[in-house]
Amino acid sequence: MTAGTPFELPAKCDTCVVRHKSICAVLSEDELKDFNRIARHRRVPTGQVIAADSEIVFANILDGVVKLTKTLADGRQQIVGLQFPPDFLGRIYAKESPYFAEAATDVELCAFPKDGFEGMLRRYPGLEHRLFENTLDELDSAREWMLLLGRKTARERVASLLMMIARRAPNVGCSHTPDNNFAKFTLPLTRADLADYLGLTLETVSRQITNLKKADIIELIDNREIIVPNLDALEDVAGN
């Protein structure tokens, strides 16, 4: 749980898996060289902190899933964002990050030092525009989730989350491709994490997963591996 000293490697942009999907997509080859000079790869094992409260880390996610959390004084916790590759990580234009970033699975990052990155931001306006678009999308997602947290039942919440993961998980290594109406994927989160994302307890999440299984909406290979034979049926349960 405590921050270790993850090893770092120089970035190799020419073979990068997210070269054309991450924020780097807006950079020319020349600009990318500039970027390449300051970028460092970094591995963060499951459960480790990427950026503690206040500290700010800028990075592209190459692999794995990152959770952003907020916590009340008495320990009640809420996940306020889940990030998958090729998402960008880090609260720019702030002295302190208003939340906590933690590796939900083993994570591979391409990290940028704060100063260097902010210099880039000034030099390449296309980059800022791209980050702006990202932020607008994140805001839309956050508000979508507010509807879930404020108004959906436990059953609807769990179904909604499975839908969301079925949609995004293809970008995470080990999972299968969802085609039209079938999906198979590995949950990147424990039951406790699911609960923290859904505003429920882990027992309630477990019960709802059992219910969806009994209703033949999903099948479980093991606790983490899930098959959705009919995404439309799951979508129906999710509400909206």
Partner DNA sequence: CGACACTTTGACTGTAGTCAATGTAAGTGG
Partner DNA sequence: CCACTTACATTGACTACAGTCAAAGTGTCG
Binding site for DNA (CB under 7 A): 47, 153-155, 190-192, 199-207, 209-210, 220, 222-224
Taking residues 30 to 69 in sequence order and writing x for each that binds its own copies by CB under 8 A, - otherwise, the string is --------------------------------------x-
In angstroms, rounded to a whole number, what is the distance separating the alpha carbons of residues 196 and 238? Answer: 18
Which member of 88, 117, 145, 185 binds its own copies (CB under 8 A)?
Answer: 145
Burial string for 38-58 (b: 16+ CB within 10 Å, else e) reads bbebbbbeeebbbbeeeebbb
| Separation of alpha carbons 132 and 104, rounded Å | 25
Give residues 90-109 in contact with its own copies (rule: CB under 8 A): 91-94, 98-99
Residue type, 112: F
Among 9, 25, 139, 221, binds its own copies (CB under 8 A): 139
Helix (H, G, I), strand (E, B) or coil at 112: strand
Cα Rg for the chain, rounded, in angstroms?
A: 19
Q: Using the rule CB under 8 A, is 77 a contact of its own copies?
A: yes
Question: What whole-number distance in Å separates Cα of residue 153 and Cα of residue 179?
Answer: 28
CB of 182 to its own copies, least distance (A): 24
Edge-first strand order for the sheet with 107-112 is 8-10, 40-44, 107-112, 58-63, 88-89
Is residue 203 within the footprint of its own copies (CB under 8 A)? no
Dmax (CA) for the chain in angstroms is 56
Candidate residues 5, 30, 115, 150; the one interacting with its own copies per rule CB under 8 A: 150
Q: Residues interacting with its own copies, by CB under 8 A?
A: 68, 70, 72-74, 76-78, 80-81, 91-94, 98-99, 125, 128-129, 131-133, 135-136, 138-140, 142-147, 149-152, 196, 198-199, 239-240
